[in-house]
Amino acid sequence: MKHEKSLGKIGLKGLHHIFWDEPVSVLVEEALHRHEGCLAENGALVVETGAPSGRSPKDKYLVKTRDTGDVWWGSVNRPLAPEVWDRLMAYARSYLQGREVFVFNGFAGADPDHRLQVRVIAERAWHALFARTLFIVPKPDEVLHDPPDFTVLNVCGLKALDYKALGLNSGIFVVINFAERMILIGGTNYAGEIKKSIFTVLNYLLPKKGILPMHCSANVGKQGDTALFFGLSGTGKTTLSADPDRRLIGDDEHGWTNHGVFNFEGGCYAKCIKLSRENEPQIYNALRFGSVLENVILDDRRCPDFDDGSLTENTRATYPVAYIDNCVQEGMGGHPKNIFFLAADAFGVLPPIARLSSEQAMYHFLSGYTAKLAGTEAGVVEPTTTFSACFGAPFLVHHPFTYAQMLGEKMRQHDTRLWLVNTGWSGGGYGIGKRMKIGYTRALLSAALSGALDHVGYVPDPVFGLQVPQECPGVPADILQPRNTWTDKGAYDRAAADLARKFVENFKAFEDRVAPEVIQAGPRLEGIARAAS
């Protein structure tokens, strides 16, 4: 009766049964009973999302009310009228009548002073398991309030059939209502929408408290030195932060307060295409009972075939952060000493590592560059440049400059060093060169973290102006300068000039907000002209 009353506060009535904060074993049993998935040989629950197998950014909306006057409206944050929200909520309430639901209550945010109490209501058992894995499970003695700070209602089986009349892009909808403190998800099985919608909420609320929300992973060394790793999907953010020699704080979303950084989550959500025990042992060993594999193909012995991307390249693994042997259980760390911007440059022109000035840090944070490869999305037939402000534009609610300004202030206050790391191609672009060896990237990161790169010479990149080290322990000197790795130097010059122009064109959107010295910290036009000649 108590649980029915709680859900009745948001209009959910006539439910057949409520599974309330069930343990992992029950959620797995219920998922199997409902044929939502099967068990892999390693004990993980394997599910298929169907289409879409990733986020639907064109189907994300914010309800426009008096509470959203400071929202960065545009292609990222699409406004939705309150009456459309009411219609969708009415559909959801009617849809769930007579059905069973699974409820998870927990937290987003490891810092007790700044966490958000979250409730996830889902019609799928595996979505509740996902929420239990990705958010923070309350301790037995912790008291939860009702209603929570934010509620996620996931009716994945419901599509808006009259979406055109409602002014929606499709039958899929991911809607955030700050006035109602609710999120409504429909028409998609992709579980990432659950966590990313809460990340979007925190991106709106935390800056108002002077806290910087960040789309980054974080770890800490034996000397207590915290490091952050920013990067878009496929750049190695999760892989590189899972370092056997350092303790993992979290793999995706963090906040930076006046006391240090804290993880938003209690689990990890790793892209696992081509995952191997050799290259990513910590992630590989974390996949066991209690974890979830999305769209991963099993062989005849039910062993995951991580090389098989026949369903999607965006195969995913979800597991508790505690499954990483040397994790930071409390999910908190000190102020970062080093920050790494990761870019999977498919054009092979950026150096494998470079040191950035504070102005360059602002420029590249606002740019948020990486490259998408052919085949990763429908219609992508060759590598394409991708710029995502603050390395997380789809989740920003305020203008990107708000977050960039906060990052710059915190870096100056805590004397944080910043590096740009190319985890992409060397010796040529995609199809000609080769992907940077992960062993080299780890060696470069280790040298930066240990201070070994503080004692070497640097030379500026002629086009991008970045400070490139001339040597690094464990890394061949010839790969540090990308032009040296290309057989056709003229082809490198043309590729570098082309990428630089795209940086300059993209940054025009921010020139009215930033200081002149930040604009000048971008690619050098004279270098572009020389490279193109």
Q: Which residues are annotated as a binding site for Mn(2+)?
A: 196, 215, 252
Outline where DSSP puts E strands in 376-460.
Answer: 384-387, 417-422, 425-426, 434-435, 458-460
Give Cα 455 distance to the centre of its chain.
33
Is 215 among the catalytic positions? yes
In the set 53, 197, 233, 318, the catalytic residue is: 233
Binding site, annotated residues for ATP:
196, 215, 231-239, 280, 316, 441
Strand partners, 177: 182
Which entry of 237, 271, 337, 442 is annotated as an active-site residue? Answer: 237
Nearest to residue 339, comparing CAs of 265, 231, 423? 231
Residue type, 107: F
Sheet holding 292-294, edge to edge: 37-39, 45-47, 292-294, 316-320, 267-271
Distance CA 332, CA 249 (A): 6
Distance of CA 382 to the CA centre of its chain: 23
Which residues are registered as beta bridge partners of 356? 418
Is 316 a known active-site residue? Answer: yes
d(CA 360, CA 266): 33
Catalytic residue among 316, 355, 442, 524: 316
Distance of CA 508 to the CA centre of its chain: 25
Length of the chain: 533
The candidate with the shortest Cα–Cα distance to 254, out of 288, 227, 218, 305, is 218
- Token readout for 54 is 């990733």
- Verify whether residue 233 is a known catalytic residue: yes
**Catalytic-role residue among 238, 318, 388, 423:** 238
Q: Is 196 a catalytic residue?
A: yes
For 200, phi and psi rounded to 5 degrees?
Answer: -60, -40
CA–CA gap between residue 384 and residue 107 (Å, rounded):
37
Tell me how far apart the alpha carbons of residues 391 and 366 are, in angstroms, rounded to a whole number.
8
Active-site annotation holds for 208: no
Instruction: Name the DSSP letter for residue 118.
Output: E
> Which entry of 111, 225, 251, 252 is annotated as an active-site residue?
252
Contact 92, 186 (CB under 8 A): yes
Residue 90 three-state SS:
helix
Selecting among 195, 196, 364, 524, the annotated active-site residue is 196
55 is catalytic: yes
Whether the Cβ atoms of residue 133 and residue 267 lie closer than 8 Å to each other: yes
Integer Cα distance of 401 and 133 in angstroms:
32
- Max CA pair span of the chain: 76
Show binding-site residues. 55, 190, 196, 215, 231-239, 252, 280, 316, 441
Query: Which residue among the candidates 6, 55, 151, 226 is catalytic per the annotation?
Result: 55
Give the separation between CA 333 and CA 261, rounded to whole angstroms. Answer: 5
Q: Which of 60, 215, 364, 524 is catalytic?
A: 215
Annotated binding site for substrate: 55, 190, 196, 316
Question: Annotated catalytic, 99?
Answer: no
Give the integer Cα–Cα distance in Å for 63 and 183: 10
Catalytic residues: 55, 196, 215, 233, 237-238, 252, 316
